[in-house]
């Protein structure tokens, strides 16, 4: 299985710590490397990293990472990194298709996860799903930044009814990890053609409207969006405890 990691954005809220969010160290390991290592632990054998802002620095980092982990880690650059994140998904999914891939784990470079989340997510695909999103029903979790979270309203079958930043009537939060099929990039393209901005959520909502957007409840597993100095401090304190497969056991 392939993984697609989005690492193209500006990362303005973490700029006081690092010029490149994906290369920001967490307890000594760059965020992007954490993501790739977690994908490998979930069974991924090839990774595509979509770059944009600070692309040259990130792309220079990838060959060494690929060598250390023993799998291909390749880059796909978006020309206009300030465009919505759906454009990064389209670019990365096209690269996976050119390499002969199909379904893929989709991850954000600034999200880190307890191992069980990605391991379970990699196994949940069925023909009835165009995409599966990892969700957390603990909407009052203090680790979540409510001003930045993407919220999810579920239907009676725990599929996505609505997804977005401003959904007041929600039951879960988007964890930033997906099992995607080629339907996802096609849905984003269709949303753009309909006049939408081209965000990942635009494509997800289109699949939700078609009954093709499923979810996977992570239960009590740990995850964190490392998006600002507060979250970075939490990651430095907690990641070594929750990611022993990467940091080693005490």
Three-state secondary structure along 27-41? CCEEHHHHHHHHHHH
Question: How buried is residue 158: exposed, middle or buried, by Cβ count under 10 Å (0-12/13-18/19+)?
Answer: middle
Give me the phi and psi of 234, to 5 degrees please.
-60, -40
Q: Tens digit of pLDDT for each residue in 109-143?
A: 999 999 999 999 999 988 999 999 999 999 988 88
Cβ 139 vs Cβ 65: under 8 Å? no
Which residues of the chain are under the pLDDT cut of 70?
Answer: 11, 249-250
Domain that holds residue 161: 2-247
Task: List, in sequence order, every residue forming a beta bridge with 214; answer none if it has no partner.
Answer: 132
Please count the structural domains in the chain: 1
Closest CA to 21 of 3, 8, 35: 8
Question: d(Cα 230, Cα 200) in Å, to the nearest integer?
Answer: 25
Alpha-carbon distances, residue 125 vs 95, 104, 154, 196 (angstroms): 21, 10, 18, 27
Domain CATH number, residue 159: 3.90.550.10
pLDDT of residue 13: 73
Q: Tens digit of pLDDT for each residue in 176-202?
A: 999 999 999 999 999 999 999 999 999
């Amino acid at each position: 299985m392939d993984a697609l990691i989005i690492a193209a954005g500006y990362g303005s809220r973490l700029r006081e710590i690092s010029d490149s969010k994906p290369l920001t160290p967490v307890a000594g390991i760059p965020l992007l490397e954490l993501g790739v290592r977690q994908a490998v632990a979930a069974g991924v054998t090839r990774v595509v990293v979509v770059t944009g802002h600070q692309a040259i620095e990130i792309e220079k980092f990838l060959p060494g990472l690929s060598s250390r982990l023993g799998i291909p880690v390749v880059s796909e650059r978006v020309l206009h990194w300030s465009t919505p994140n759906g454009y990064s998904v389209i670019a990365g999914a096209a690269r996976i298709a050119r390499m002969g891939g199909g379904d893929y784990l989709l991850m954000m470079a600034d999200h880190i996860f307890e191992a069980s989340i990605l391991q379970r997510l990699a196994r949940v695909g069925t023909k009835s799903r165009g995409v599966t999103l990892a969700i957390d029903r603990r909407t009052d979790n203090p680790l979540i930044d409510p001003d930045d979270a993407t919220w999810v309203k579920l239907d009676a079958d725990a599929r996505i009814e609505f997804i977005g930043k401003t959904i007041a009537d929600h039951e879960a939060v988007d964890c930033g990890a997906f099992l995607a099929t080629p339907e996802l990039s096609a849905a984003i393209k269709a949303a753009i053609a309909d006049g939408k901005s081209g965000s990942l959520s635009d494509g997800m909502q289109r699949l939700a409207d078609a009954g093709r957007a499923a979810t996977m409840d992570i239960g009590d597993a740990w995850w964190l969006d490392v998006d600002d100095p507060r979250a970075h401090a939490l990651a430095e304190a907690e990641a070594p405890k929750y990611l022993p497969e990467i940091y080693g056991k005490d």
